[in-house]
Structure 1
Amino acid sequence: MCHQSATVCLTKSPTRQHRAIGPLALRLETLADPRCRRGKRHPFVAVLLVACSAVVAGAKSFAAIGQWAKEAPQGALARLGARAATAFALRIAPSSATVRRVVQRTCPGGLADLLGCDPAGAETLAVDGKSARGSRHGTTAATHLLAAMIGSGQTVTQLRVPDKTNEITCFAALLGDKAAGASLCR
C-alpha cells in the first residue's frame, strides 16, 4: 500500500484525463512502480493486468488470482504482457505472492482513479472508510482507506487516511476535483 500521506498520494494519483487515455494498459503505465529496481522479474503493468483479468474472471482472493494466472493460456499471458522465459518463449505468469505485493504497494488512490468511474451526471455520492484487510503487520497499524462511490456502487476514487488522523480530515482532499461533476457536490 502507499506508505505516503494522503495528500501526497492524492496529488500523485492520475486525473480524469488519464482515465480518458484509452486502453487499460496505457492507463496503468501512468502509475509509479512501487518496487525497487533490483529483483524485478515481471513487468509492473503485466502484473496489474493479470490481477484485473483474474478478478473479472471471478477471482476473489490473491490465491485465486495466482491460480487463474497459473492456468491462463499462453496467448492470454502474451496479450497481458507476461514475461517470456526459456528458449521456446514460454510465458511465465506472476505468482500470487508477487501479485499481492505489487497490488498492496501500489497507490490505492491512483488505482481507483484509473479504474474508477466518472462521477459526472451522478445524482448521489457516498463516502465510506474501511481498514484494508491483511494490511496490519506486527506493530504497524492497518491501512485505512476512504472511498467515494456513486449511487450504483461504482468507486470514483479512494485515498489512504494518514496514521493518527481520521476520515473527516481527508474528506475535502478526497472529493477535491474528483467529484466536481456530481450534482450533489456543487
Structure 2
Amino acid sequence: MSATFLKHFDSITDPRIERCKKHELIDILLLAISAVLSGAEGWEDIEDFGHLKLDWLKKYGAFKEGIPRHDTIARVICRLKSDEIEHSFQSWISSLIETTGADIIAIDGKTARRSFTTKDRKSALHTVSAWSCQHQLGVLRPSPRN
C-alpha cells in the first residue's frame, strides 16, 4: 500500500464542502479499498474492518478522527467520480504489476439459476473460472453437487 497507493489515489477530487470534512478523503479511500479487498461486502463491513485493523491502517494513513461511520463512508464514496476512481485503481494495479513482475489473474464466479432443489437438498451449481492474462490460459472449475 504505502506511498504507491497514496500517490495514485491522491488526485481524486473530494466532493465535500471544506467545513464538512472531518475525515481525510485518502483515509476513507484507503479504508474502503483495503476492506473490500479483504472481503467486506457492505458499508457496515467496511466500518467494522476499520475498527479491527485501525493500527494497521494508521501505518499508511492519518486517521486522526478514527474510523468514519458507515453512513459517512457511503455518502463520500457515492459522491466520487467513478472515472477518477477507475483511473486511479488501474494506475495503482499497473504499478504493482511492474514492481512485482506478476501476472494478472482474472477470477470470475457464477451460480446457475434454479440449479438447487430443496426437495432433494441439492445445493446450487457454482462455477469459478480463472484466466491468466499474460499466458492467455484459463481454467474452469465447477463445484461438486451434494
TM-score, reference length from structure 1: 0.45
- Measured in 1, the distance between the counterparts of 2:67 and 2:49 equals 9
Aligned-residue CA RMSD (Å): 2.5
Q: Deviation string for 1:58-81 (max 9, x for gaps)? A: 10111111111122242x131231
TM-score, reference length from structure 2: 0.57
Query: Who is 2:80 aligned against?
Result: 106
Structure 2 unaligned blocks of 5 or more: 95-105, 109-146
1:48 matched to 2:22? The reply is no
* Closer/same/farther in 2, CA of residues 100 and 80 from structure 1, 3 Å limit: farther
1:70 matched to 2:44? The reply is no
SS at match of 1:52: helix
Contact 1:50-1:80 within 8 A present in 2 as well: no
1:97 matched to 2:83? The reply is no
Q: State percent identity of aligned pairs.
A: 25
Q: Deviation string for 1:46-103 (max 9, x for gaps)? A: 10000011011110111111111122242x1312314325xxxxxx112111111111
Matched residues, number: 95
- Measured in 1, the distance between the counterparts of 2:76 and 2:5 equals 17
Q: Which protein is bigger by CA-based radius of gyration?
A: 2
Query: Who is 1:80 aligned against?
Result: 60
**Is the helix fraction higher in 1 or 2?**
2
SS at match of 1:84: coil
Structure 1 unaligned blocks of 5 or more: 1-21, 86-91, 119-151, 155-186
Q: Deviation string for 1:135-169 (max 9, x for gaps)? A: xxxxxxxxxxxxxxxxx479xxxxxxxxxxxxxxx
- Measured in 2, the distance between the counterparts of 1:73 and 1:109 equals 28
Where relative contact order (Cα < 8 A, 6+ residues apart) is larger, the structure is 1
